[in-house]
Amino acid sequence: MALLLLTISSVFAQAPTFANIQGITYAGTGCSVGSLHPYITPDRSAFHIEFHDLKAVDGNGQDTTANRKNCQLSVQLNYQQGYQFRLAAVQYTGHLSVPTGQTAIERSSYYFQGKTDTAAFESDWNGPAYYDYTVTDVVSSNPNVWSDCSNTANLEINAEVRASSNGPYTSISVNSATGFALQAYQFEWRQC
């Protein structure tokens, strides 16, 4: 099970007086229908997502389609005209079971629907690796991934895990993902 948490706050500029999450849609081999449970807070300022299927396995006769899993999330936001925002960072934690000579990968990317700028990250592990892991994607390190200066945006998040084995059972899972920014804020805002 994994958890993704994002909250609307401000780092650069004063946050707009109105901003909320309208909805969340998802699809992918790592988040089949009913396996992902989004929760939007009553004030629509944050959301939590529990993943149950974001796990890749390989080796010991596993189905070849089990070695890569992904989940594409689309977060629909409405906010005050004259502002734009970006996600500052996301922290993933999970578990590795990677024998000697085998590999596991966690990848993620972030962009706004209809825009070409993407912030992409990858973490790689070579076995032996049998432990819980934590990685942080500092999305704000890409200065071009900002929403439009409008009053709506779809933030797209793609999370992926891969396991690669030439025989022994190998796995990687995402147990939690928490969105945050510098000083514990989740989004960075600026006026247009």
* CA–CA gap between residue 166 and residue 170 (Å, rounded): 9
Predicted local confidence at residue 71, as pLDDT: 93
Predicted local confidence at residue 14, as pLDDT: 67
Nearest to 54 by CA among 77, 79, 73: 73
User: In sequence order, what E strands does the chain have?
Assistant: 2-7, 19-27, 36-40, 46-51, 55-58, 68-87, 89-98, 103-112, 118-126, 129-137, 150-164, 170-180, 187-191
Q: Are 135 and 91 in contact (CB under 8 A)?
A: yes
The answer to whether the Cα torsion of 74, 76, 79, 83 is positive or negative is positive
How many CB atoms within 10 Å of residue 117?
13
Give me the amino acid identity at 22: Q
Predicted local confidence at residue 176, as pLDDT: 61
Which residues in the chain land under pLDDT 70? 1-15, 39-48, 176-186
* CA–CA gap between residue 120 and residue 142 (Å, rounded): 9
Residue 141, classed as helix, strand or coil, is: helix
Predicted local confidence at residue 154, as pLDDT: 93
Phi–psi pair at 76, nearest 5 degrees: -95, 120
How many CB atoms within 10 Å of residue 144?
11
Cα 52-56-59 angle, rounded to 5 deg = 140
